[in-house]
């Protein structure tokens, strides 16, 4: 995994690259474009016609705050701001969106108490 932010002095940029065994790679740049390869073959590519995510501090449309929090958690041994339960709730919303898209009907979101 590679995380970076602030690579440009004039325009803040961020990039996330996840590489896995077997030629599986995902790259997300400036929170707006991405490339995905599965088994060494490009499967998804999104390059927006205009860049709407550039030009701020990297905190508003980028991942700078998350990268800083992640590094601080590693240094101090603390946890990051998002705990696993909050991540679980995000995935429940994601699953509801997929279900709604597949059926064309609203989907309910419910959370199990942990």
32-87 tens-digit pLDDT: 677 888 888 888 877 765 555 555 555 655 566 777 777 888 899 887 766 777 77
Q: SS3 sequence, the chain? A: CEEEECCCCCCCCEEEEEEECCCEEEEEECCCEEEEEECCEEEEEECCCCCCCCCCCCCCCCCHHHHHHHHHHHHHCCCCCCCHHHHHHHHHHHHHHHHHHHHCCCCCCCCCCC
Confidence tier at 27 by pLDDT (50, 70, 90): confident
Checking if the pLDDT of 23 tops 70, the result is yes
Break the chain into its structural domains and give their ranges.
2-81, 82-114
């Amino acid at each position: 995994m590679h995380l970076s932010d602030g690579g440009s002095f004039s325009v803040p940029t961020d990039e996330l690259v996840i590489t896995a065994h077997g030629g599986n790679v995902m790259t997300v740049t400036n929170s707006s474009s991405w490339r995905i390869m599965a088994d060494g073959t490009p499967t998804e590519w999104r390059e927006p016609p205009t860049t709407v995510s550039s030009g701020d501090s990297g905190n508003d449309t980028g991942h700078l705050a998350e990268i800083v929090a992640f590094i601080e958690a590693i240094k101090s041994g603390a946890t990051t701001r998002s705990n696993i339960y909050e991540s679980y709730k995000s995935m429940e919303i994601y699953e509801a969106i997929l279900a709604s898209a597949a059926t064309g009907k609203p989907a309910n979101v419910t959370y199990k108490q942990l």
